[in-house]
Amino acid sequence: MILAAGFGTRFLPVSKATPKEMLALVDKPVIQYLVEDAVASGLCEIIIVTGKNKRAIEDHFDRSHELETFLEAKGKKDLADMVKKISSLASFAYVRQKEQKGTADAVRAAWPFVGNEPFAVTSGDDIVESGSPVLGQLVKVYEKYRAPVTCLMRVPMEETNKYGVIDGKEVSPGVWKISRAVEKPAPGKAPTNLATITKFILTPDFIPYLKKAKPLNGEYYIPPAMDAYIKDGGAFYGYEVKGQWYDCGSKLGYMKAAAHFGLRHPEIGGAFREYLKSLKV
Per-residue pLDDT of the chain (281 residues; tens, 9 = 90+): 999 998 888 899 998 989 999 999 999 999 999 999 999 999 999 999 998 889 999 999 999 999 999 999 999 999 999 999 999 999 999 999 988 888 999 999 999 898 889 999 999 789 999 989 999 999 999 999 999 999 999 999 999 998 889 999 999 999 999 999 988 888 888 999 999 999 999 999 999 999 888 888 888 989 889 999 999 999 999 999 989 999 998 999 999 999 999 999 999 999 999 999 999 87
Residue of 247, 199, 262, 246 lying closest to 24 (CA atoms): 262
| 148 class by beta-carbon count within 10 Å (0-12 exposed, 13-18 middle, 19+ buried) | buried
Residue 132: C-alpha distances to residues 34, 146, 248 (Å): 13, 21, 20
Bridge partners (DSSP) listed for residue 176: 170, 238
Q: Which residues contact 204 (CB under 8 A, 6 or more apart)?
A: 116, 117, 118
- From CA 75, how far away is CA 130, in angstroms rounded? 35
Q: What's the pTM?
A: 0.92
Ordered by where they begin, the domains of the chain are: 2-278 (3.90.550.10)
Helix axes 77-87, 65-73, angle to 10 degrees: 160
